[in-house]
Homo-oligomer: A and B are copies of this chain.
């Protein structure tokens, strides 16, 4: 930093493609801080160091930063300064803050400048310092790229590129650069293995009204893939040619400022710069019929694996000798038996007892603990199958439970049910529904500091946006074809955690009978204003894609309302009927017993 004349350097947890999970090469924030969570920002000045992360990782970060120079900054808590405020305090007028422009978004650097420039502090893109100081830094992966067949994708790359071109033209632009790896993979029907859990590959995709160019290390492309790309009308250039290419581009280039690194924007010298949303984002979240059929298939297989594991786990724990890691290993084995299985969709969260209260706890040999036949085990996991991605959480009663464990189990279940059985008119977005999952526990003074749900990709990233269930304002209406999880929780530090999670699909609602129903007002038909959700329909609801029972023994039935019980019993019954034909008789018996109505 002294050589470069900068007084502070910011290392975010992202990469040139603004990813949540990033290839090891760009895990510089983990390398410089030792904190391994998926979200965090490390800031180093000449005298101080601090790391910001969110509530999912507070406990984990406390542990990993202990005895380091890093001060932990808990995002979202009152009194926690923002990175900008902290820098303003630590630095002086004429000081300089450095970032790597490949790993910082256009929006990100603009926000920094807006906050710091008025105080005389400059923000500069100084290149990637980890090239020098991180001596054993991993290279950019050159793993092979695979074609994602039409039988799972449901739409050709050529057709998707055509739709992107329509969107570009509608905005009166000439071209765009797609940086997000899942958006490139989705558009081209290609998959890779460059990032843990996310089947993507490092690349940029340039699409103009007459060209489509994939910027990628050519070693990653087999002859078959090269022929395929040619057939779909896609040229290829080397990954590091993106900046020179943009440099010489003369058209109107539209970039999404929160999803594009600032060096891409800075490379544009001769063309016209425009800002706008990437059209692929909204195309990708509306699943086509083939993808929906794939989810059903993947969820069936995932349910079979989960049921086998759930039947196995309680007696196994009773026999003794199990740990969080041994239980995880067995679940992976059951999933691996399933056809088209490609791996986990994220690092399994297997939290026994007090580990369940660490929202994103992932057991390692260092943290692994024995699992005993009492209390609760929280298991949040998912699989990548060629035909779909799954994400499921169940909380397993392993033996005697305390009153608090049962009560929290029931309160979370009520929230899960109330959100999961919601019906809502066109235009409604997730932030407006989020409270349905929280209200039952709020009445007991309980809350959770994470969102309640996220989109799930189709053999792609397990986190897919922008739609979500959150208290925060995020006005993306939920529309038929979108996937979203429903996952409220309660976490009692040092004691236990509960979370129930299904992956769901937005579908047209089956409304309750409204006999002799007169339309409410003459302007009923087609009314709607997406921004505020005030419409007379059509109405939507959620189809629960996840096929896996929920244990009933911890439920305190008196705390539940009849409508909730009715929904719950129907869900359990549906799971039982869907899975039974695919189970051996013993497992089918077990499932029938487990899913008996409460």
Contact = CB atoms under 8 A, between A and B. Distances in A.
A512 B55 CA distance: 25
A520 B534 contact: no
Interface string A491-523: 111110000000000000101101111111111
A442 B58 contact: no
Contact of A511 (B433, B445, B473): B445
A403 B518 CA distance: 12
Interface string A443-461: 1111101000000000000
A114 to B, nearest CB: 18
A223 to B, nearest CB: 51
Which of A436, A520, A527 has the most chain B CB atoms closer than 10 A to its own CB?
Answer: A520
Which of A76, A433, A473, A534 has the most chain B CB atoms closer than 10 A to its own CB?
Answer: A534
A44 B300 CA distance: 62
For this chain, the copies found in one complex come to 2
A531 to B, nearest CB: 7
Given A422-B439, A424-B442, A516-B404, A534 B447 contact: yes
16 contacts: A58-B523, A77-B528, A423-B442, A424-B435, A425-B442, A432-B432, A445-B509, A445-B514, A447-B535, A447-B537, A470-B532, A471-B532, A472-B531, A472-B534, A492-B518, A493-B522
Which of A407, A492, A514, A528 has the most chain B CB atoms closer than 10 A to its own CB?
Answer: A514
A443 B436 CA distance: 14
A522 B63 CA distance: 14
Contacts of A494: 518
A562 interface: yes
A404 B491 CA distance: 44
B432 A434 contact: yes
Given A520-B492, A536-B447, A539-B445, A529 B77 contact: yes
Contacts of A442: 422-425, 539
A353 to B, nearest CB: 13
B516 A403 contact: yes
Given A407-B514, A434-B432, A562-B561, A533 B443 contact: no
Pairs A-B, 7 closest by C-beta atoms? A445-B511, A471-B533, A472-B532, A561-B561, A423-B443, A423-B442, A444-B512
Interface string A232-268: 0000000000000000000000000000000000000
Contact of A471 (B76, B432, B539): B432
Q: A interface, by DSSP: helix, strand, loop or mixed? A: loop
Contact of A521 (B58, B472, B533): B58
A343 interface: no
Nearest to A432: B435
A546 interface: no
Contacts of A407: 514
Given A442-B423, A490-B520, A511-B443, A473 B475 contact: yes
A208 interface: no
- Interface band, chain A: 35 or more
A449 B76 contact: no
A89 interface: no
B491 A520 contact: yes
Contacts of A335: none
Contacts of A520: 446-447, 490-493
A132 interface: no
Interface string A527-560: 1110111111101000000000000000000000
A508 to B, nearest CB: 11
Interface string A53-91: 001001000000000000000101111000000000000
Which of A55, A74, A79, A443 has the most chain B CB atoms closer than 10 A to its own CB?
Answer: A443
Given A424-B435, A435-B436, 10 more contacts: A74-B523, A76-B532, A79-B526, A403-B516, A404-B518, A424-B442, A470-B532, A471-B532, A471-B533, A472-B531
